[in-house]
Amino acid sequence: MKIFRRFHNIQGALLLHELSFVLLILVTATAAVGWAYAWQKSSAESLRLSAMNSHGQNVRGELYRQLKEVFDAAFLRDKYAADEYAHYLERINGYLADLNQLAVNQQETQAIERVSQAYQDFYQQTRQLLGLKSLNAQQRKLLDKQLEQQTFSRLETAFSRFDSLLKTEQQALTERRQRWLSQMTMLIPIPVLIAIGLLLLSRRYVQTNLLKPLARVMHGARRISNGDLAHQIPHMGLDELVRLAGAINQMAAELASNRDKLVEAEKQAAMAELVPLVAHNIRNPLAAIRAAAQVTLDEQPEPAVSDALKDIIICVDRLENWVTSLLSYLHPSQPHFSHQSLRQLTDDVIALMQIQFDDKHIRLEKSGWQISASEVSLDNHLMEQAVFNLLQNAVEASPPGAVIECVYQQDAKQVELMICDEGAGMRFDPLTEQVTGGETKRLSYGLGIPFALKVIKQHHGQLRYDAERGRGTRVIISLPRQ
pLDDT by residue (tens digit) across 418-443?
999 888 776 655 445 454 454 444 33
Task: Give the end of a domain, one of 187, 218, 251.
Answer: 187
In a domain, 381, yes or no: yes
Strand duo 414-420 + 473-480: pairing:
antiparallel
In a domain, 305, yes or no: no
CB 478 within 8 A of CB 410: no
CB 109 within 8 A of CB 103: yes
How much is the pLDDT for 432? 52
Task: Give the end of a domain, one of 165, 187, 209.
Answer: 187
The string of pLDDT tens digits covering residues 19-33 is: 777 777 877 777 777
How much is the pLDDT for 1? 47
Burial of 29 (0-12, 13-18, 19+ CB in 10 A): exposed
Sheet holding 473-480, edge to edge: 363-367, 403-410, 414-420, 473-480, 462-467
Pairwise CA distance, residues 279 & 326, whole Å: 9
Domain span at residue 339 reads 332-480
Strand duo 403-410 + 363-367: pairing:
parallel
In a domain, 143, yes or no: yes
Q: CA torsion sign, 131 to 134 to 139 to 144?
A: positive
In a domain, 270, yes or no: no
CB 51 within 8 A of CB 182: no
Tens digits of pLDDT across the chain (482 residues): 455 556 567 676 677 667 777 777 877 777 777 777 778 888 888 898 899 999 989 988 888 888 888 777 766 777 788 888 889 889 999 999 999 999 889 998 998 899 899 888 888 877 766 665 565 665 566 566 666 666 777 888 888 888 899 899 889 888 888 887 787 777 777 777 777 887 777 778 778 877 788 888 888 888 888 878 788 888 887 777 788 888 888 888 888 778 777 776 676 666 666 666 666 667 678 777 877 777 777 777 787 777 777 778 777 776 676 666 666 666 666 777 888 888 899 988 888 788 788 888 899 999 988 888 888 988 887 888 889 888 988 888 888 988 999 999 988 889 999 999 888 776 655 445 454 454 444 334 456 777 788 888 888 898 888 766 667 888 899 999 87
In a domain, 265, yes or no: no
Query: Residue length, the chain?
Result: 482
In a domain, 440, yes or no: yes
CATH code of the domain covering residue 143:
1.20.120
Number of domains in the chain: 2
In a domain, 309, yes or no: no
In a domain, 286, yes or no: no
Dmax over Cα atoms in the chain, in whole Å?
A: 194
Structural element, H or E, at residue 286:
helix 239-298
Task: Give the end of a domain, one of 163, 187, 211.
Answer: 187
